[in-house]
Amino acid sequence: MNRAGELAALAAIVALAASCGRSEPSAPASKPAAPAPATVPQAAADEANQEAQAGAVSVEIAATVDGAQYPLKTMGQCTYTGAAAVYDVPAAQWHAMVHANGQPLSYANLTIWEFKDHSTQASLGLQIRGEFRHASTVKGATLVGSGTASAAHAGEGATLSFDGKDNRGAAIRIEVRCPRTTAPIEEGG
């Protein structure tokens, strides 16, 4: 990828991350806001697709959003490390991400942090029928929606799950099954 492409992809990822960590509070679950549909930026999707090819595994997802089911089996990434941190707090990190253009569930990104006391925090982003939905229970970031998360090793792989409400107040449940996990690529500094 050339320098201009790298900068465009970085800008798209920053914009996506900023949308999940807004400084203003989210609308209460009893009065969900009706924002215009947002989509995963194409540059971010293209870059993630290229990166996913290197460590891709067959990922199975069972998602239910507002009562509608969205099963998906596609190639994606699954990572695990016992030596991560979120806002400088040591934690194990589980992560799964898939892109499936043309599918009703076309994007899923679930990260779960498990702390030494076995409590968890999570960040979830989904694109369903062109609309972006998210939830975040990460303390130190803007809390969006609500829910509980769990992750566990399954042989060489892992099972990640989240059960709660998204940014629109819709009930959301997702289970992601990965046949194997790899070490994440270190970011930041």
pLDDT in single tens digits along all 189 residues of the chain: 433 434 333 333 333 343 343 333 333 333 334 333 444 444 444 544 444 456 799 999 999 999 999 999 999 999 999 999 999 999 999 999 999 999 999 999 999 999 999 999 999 999 999 999 999 999 999 999 999 999 999 899 999 999 999 999 999 999 999 999 998 887 654
CATH class, 51-178 region: mainly beta
* CA dist., res. 181 & res. 178, Å (int): 7
How do the domains of the chain map onto residue ranges? 51-178
User: Are the C-beta atoms of residues 84 and 92 closer than 8 Å to each other?
Assistant: yes
Q: Which residues contact 61 (CB under 8 A, 6 or more apart)?
A: 70, 71, 72, 73, 98, 105, 108, 174, 175, 176, 177
Is the model's pTM score more than 0.75? no
